[in-house]
Amino acid sequence: MRLRVTPKAARDGVDGPQTLSDGSDVLAVRVRAVADKGAANKAVAQLVAKWLGVAPSTVEVARGTTSRVKILTVAGTPGDLAATLCERSSLPA
């Protein structure tokens, strides 16, 4: 799952799908945590886990730990996760 993260935001939340200037699609996420010592990465993983309805231990930042664009891995059945992602982000199945 590819995300565009805004740390130190006014609120935690998932803003939905977004297209970056390079044409790639991401899920826009904001967290109140600052980008210091992994705090924002931990907050992102917890927020996405809650949003997807999965255990926080199943979500981890796989790439982009120091970047605003991150790749998260989520353990689980790919079909179920894709359906949940589409449903929650208003994407076509």
Total of domains in the chain: 1
What pLDDT was estimated at residue 91? 53
Structure tokens at 37: 């010592």
Q: Is the pLDDT of residue 82 over 90?
A: no
In CATH, what number is assigned to the domain containing residue 9? 3.30.1200.10
- At residue 93 the predicted structure's pLDDT band, cuts being 50, 70 and 90, is very low
What domain range is 77 assigned to?
2-89
* 3-class SS letters over 70-93: EEEEECCCHHHHHHHHHHHHCCCC
| Separation of alpha carbons 81 and 72, rounded Å | 13
Task: Please check the confidence at residue 11 and state whether its pLDDT lies above 60.
Answer: yes
What's the one-letter identity of residue 7? P
Residue 57 has pLDDT above 50, yes or no: yes
